[in-house]
Amino acid sequence: MRLTGAISKKSAAFLVTLAVLAAVFSFASYAFSSAVSASISSQSIINTNSNAQIQASDLSHLLSQTLEGVSNNLQIIASAHAVTSGNVTSAEPLFNSAQTSTQNLTSAYYWTNENGTLLLTSNGTATIFPAGSGLNLSERATFFVPKSTGTTYFSSATPSLTNSSNVYLFISQPVLSEGHFLGVVASAIRLTALGTFLKSQLSPSFRSSVGILDYNGTVLYSGQQSLIGQSVFGSTFQSELPSSLKSTFDSFLHESLAGQAGVYDITVKNITGTLAYQPIIVTDSLGQTHQFGVLYITAVDTLTGSAIALINQQRFVSTAIIVGIGATLFATAFMILRWNKRLGDAVSEKTRELVQTNLQLSTANTQLAAQSRAQTDLINIAAHELRTPTQSILANAELLRGAIVPQSEPMSVTQSGGKSVVEPGRDYISFPNIPQEDVIELVESTFRNAERLERLTQTLLEVARIDNKTLRLDYETFDLNELIRELIPDVQKGANVNSTQHLSPINISLDTDSPNLYITADKTKVGQILSNLLSNSMKSTSRDGGKITVSTRDEGDHVVVSVKDEGRGIDPEMMPKLFNKFITNSGTGLGLFISKSYVEALGGKIKAENNTDGRGATFTFTLPIKKPENSNDQNQDLVDRKAM
């Protein structure tokens, strides 16, 4: 369907505006949802960051305390008399009780003399060193560092002497007596145990993992077991680090190993997370603090992920709803506008019909006015035609009366018993000397004019019948040529007595192929048609000795009859309306109208044309030879209509 076909251009523009508005609102909703999503995401990240920092701080302190707890045990042992006096047997319970107190974390406590020779290992775990005593540990940092510093030493990740896959953190304390170095007491903390301990301290509702780096950047603990003992600066670690995280991680290392706490947002494979870090500070036996390492916590920003998923859902749903509402609005507006246009079209159609009707009424009005004028013309012409014979009859009667009635009789009109009595009065004039032949002519003229009045009455009645379509046809079979031959003298005689113009008879001749031409038609009406056409030609042919030719021709199913004269011809202006009513220079102007009506009623056609030689005109009409089949029906129809 073409949009503009169903609705107007204006409406189409409105619909487009509506669609654009719907699109704008949809986009606005989408954008707003996106902004909310971003805001929630940001809030969520802040929240996650904050939680991670708190956890990191808590764990860092806990770890510091735990390490210092072990360190304190070592300080107590190192200052114990049994140790300073070198009494291994009496010192052993001290070591065992310290191990018991920190057995969750420590694998063992041990003691070496001033030469680094292992003197004693507590119970607990015997896998730190090979079995038996006498092992020299003087080359190990746990020995020579506290020996030289005179204070507590916190080692880095150190593999076990017995099993390098077991990595330990050692804390060692020098045994001093009055300034003399007497050996080292130390504790081994298995890093996995440390990790398990830390993990148990993490909030279970917080999806996070914990890790520890020592002050050298060596991984002391990580959720990823293989990284433990690796240096973060080493190639193994660096190769596993996603390239996108490198700069962040470098910053983290730089800052965290410098003793700073902080937090970073990290995103790996569309997963947003947090890296929070906190320095682990320990205090040595001299009361000095050292950065033991860095505790870091990584947390996946789960809230952000699920919230964003929800918001995305909400964004798509709300956008879809707005699009749906927009589409519904659009469709509704389209339907309304279409109905509107249909309504408009219907109104336009009705208006057009009204205009048409108005026009028809106006035309009808004009026609009525024309009919009214024609009616007036008819009355005027009829008056003229009635008055002419009346004038003759009136004058004839007056003259005849004047010839025969004595002058002494007065003329008056008196009222008697409600009736008018006309008697000769003052207007009476005597015409005593009218010659005998004039008297006879006056009498004959009176008859003629009375007949003329009657003919005129018949003509007017016939016109009324034609106008009312109540013409009756009486079919009979007759010889058309014979009818013409009979008519010619009557027409000639009529013309000669009626008009003063033709002093000698006009020659009227019949030109035909065969003497007899039988047709079935209304003989009276055919005779009337011929009389009218001949009279017309007679009037036109004003010169004496004029010639009129009537010709008939058999054309098989119809006859062609023509009346040709040598008269004035037909004025070209008159030609188009020649057969209309009252188109005349003389007479009623009804003869040709009646003739045409008769010819057509009988199933023929009539026409008039000026002769090609420039002298006179020819009227030609056709008539069917047989009675038309529908003729009776037509008449019946006319009768029926009349009856209604």
Partner 1 sequence: MVCDDESDVLRAYRIALASKYNVVTASSGEECLRKYEGELKAGSKVDVLLLDYKLGDMLGDEVACKIRDMDGTKIILISAYEIESNFLGDLKQRNCITAFVKKPITMSSLLSTIEKTLQSE
Q: Using the rule CB under 8 A, is 107 a contact of partner 1?
A: no
Among 81, 342, 352, 384, binds partner 1 (CB under 8 A): 384
**Sequential DSSP letters for 227-265:** GTT-BTTSHHHHHHS-GGGHHHHHHHHHHHHTT--EEEE
Q: Does 391 bind partner 1 (CB under 8 A)?
A: yes
Candidate list 48, 222, 392, 597; residue touching partner 1; CB under 8 A: 392
Is position 460 an interface residue for partner 1 (rule: CB under 8 A)? no
Considering only the stretches 149-157, 230-238, 499-507, 633-641, report the one whose residues sit in contact with partner 1 under the rule CB under 8 A. Answer: 499-507
Write down the least CB distance from residue 532 to partner 1, Å: 17
Backbone angles phi, psi at 477, to 5 degrees: -95, 130
Q: Is 301 helix (H, G, I), strand (E, B) or coil?
A: coil
Q: What is the DSSP letter of 627?
A: P
Nearest by Cα to 606 from 529, 511, 521, 510 = 529
As a whole number of angstroms, the distance between CA 208 and CA 301 comes to 9
Rounded least distance, CB 416 to partner 1, Å = 23
> Min. distance of Cβ 425 from partner 1 in angstroms?
10
Q: Which of 498, 535, 580, 635 binds partner 1 (CB under 8 A)?
A: 498
CB 104 within 8 A of CB 117: no
Cβ at position 567, least distance to partner 1 in Å: 12
Nearer to partner 1, 51 or 537 (CB): 537
Please tell me the distance from the alpha carbon of residue 179 to that of residue 309, in angstroms, as a whole number.
Answer: 67
Q: Which region holds residue 343: left if phi is over 0, alpha if psi is between -120 and 50, else beta? A: alpha
- 375 part of the interface to partner 1, by CB under 8 A: no
The secondary structure of 435-497, three-state, reads CHHHHHHHHHHHHHHHHHHHHHHHHHHHHHHHHHCCCCCCEEEEEHHHHHHHHHHHHHHHHHH
Choose among 71, 138, 81: nearest CA to 288: 71
Cβ 565 to partner 1 shortest distance, Å: 15
- The residue among 122, 139, 292, 126 whose CA lies nearest residue 221 is 292
Assess 424 for contact with partner 1 (CB under 8 A): no
Binding part of the chain for partner 1, among 118-126, 338-346, 385-393, 632-640 by CB under 8 A, reads 385-393
* Residue with Cβ nearer partner 1 (16 or 404): 404
Report, in Å, the least distance between residue 386 CB and partner 1: 8
Stretch that binds partner 1, among 34-42, 181-189, 498-506, 518-526 (CB under 8 A): 498-506
| 388 contacts partner 1 (rule: CB under 8 A) | yes
Instruction: Pick between residue 157 and residue 570 the one whose CB is nearest to partner 1.
Output: 570
Taking only Cα atoms into account, the Rg of the chain, rounded to an integer number of angstroms, comes to 71
Stretch that binds partner 1, among 2-10, 32-40, 61-69, 493-501 (CB under 8 A): 493-501
Indicate the pairing of strand 507-512 with strand 547-554: parallel
Q: Does 398 bind partner 1 (CB under 8 A)?
A: yes
Q: Which residues pair with 382 in a beta bridge?
A: none
Stretch that binds partner 1, among 41-49, 158-166, 354-362, 421-429 (CB under 8 A): 421-429
620-639 binders of partner 1 (CB under 8 A): none
221 by DSSP, 3-state: which? Answer: strand
Query: Least separation, in Å, of the C-beta of 530 and partner 1?
Result: 22
- Which residue from 316, 328, 338, 312 is spatially nearest to 22, judged by alpha carbons? 328
The residues in 536-555 that bind partner 1, with binding defined as CB under 8 A, are: 539, 542
Residue with tokens 């070198």: 86
Length of the chain: 644
Instruction: Give the shortest CB-455-to-partner 1 separation in angstroms.
Output: 14
End-to-end CA distance of the chain: 53
CB-nearer residue toward partner 1: 284 or 385: 385
Six token digits for residue 95 = 């070591």
Among positions 119, 194, 308, 442, the unique one binding partner 1 when judged by CB under 8 A: 442
Instruction: Please identify, among the stretches 77-85, 426-434, 509-517, 543-551, the one whose residues bind partner 1 according to the rule CB under 8 A.
Output: 426-434
Closer Cβ to partner 1, 214 or 385, answer by number: 385
**Is 586 among the residues that bind partner 1 (CB under 8 A)?**
yes
Residue from 323, 395, 488, 583 touching partner 1 (CB under 8 A): that is 395
Is residue 383 at the binding interface for partner 1, with CB under 8 A as the rule? Answer: yes
Tokens found for residue 547: 């010639």
Piece in contact with partner 1 (CB under 8 A), picked from 185-193, 203-211, 393-401, 610-618: 393-401
Least distance to partner 1, CB of residue 591, Å: 15
Q: Does 617 bind partner 1 (CB under 8 A)?
A: no
C-alpha triplet 575, 579, 581: angle, nearest 5°: 120
* Closest CB 406 distance from partner 1, rounded Å: 16
Tell whether residue 497 is a contact of partner 1 (CB under 8 A): yes
* 501 is an interface residue for partner 1 by CB under 8 A: yes
Closest CA to 536 of 568, 561, 575: 568
Q: Any residues with CB less than 8 A from the CB of 297 and at least 6 apart, and which?
A: 52, 55, 56, 59, 202, 208, 209, 210, 211, 274, 275, 276, 277
H or E stretch at 566: none
* From 394, 421, 464, 574, residue interacting with partner 1 (rule: CB under 8 A): 394
Q: Give the nearest distance from C-beta 438 to partner 1 in angstroms.
A: 5
Rule CB under 8 A: say whether 427 interacts with partner 1. yes
Q: How far is the CB of 589 from partner 1 (least distance, A)?
A: 12
For partner 1, the closer of residues 53 and 540 by Cβ is 540
Q: Which of 446, 441, 509, 520 is nearest to 480 (CA)?
A: 520
Contacts with partner 1 by CB under 8 A: the residue count is 37
Whole-angstrom distance, CA of residue 130 vs CA of residue 163: 10
Q: Whose CA is closest to 26, among 312, 318, 309?
A: 318
Query: In this chain, which stretch among 88-96, 388-396, 477-485, 517-525 interacts with partner 1, using CB under 8 A?
Result: 388-396
User: Shortest approach of partner 1 to residue 384 CB, angstroms?
Assistant: 4
The closest alpha carbon to 622, from 536, 529, 489, 531, belongs to 529
Binding residues vs partner 1 (CB under 8 A): 380, 383-385, 387-392, 394-396, 398-399, 402, 427-429, 431, 433-434, 438, 441-442, 445, 448-449, 497-501, 539, 542, 585-586
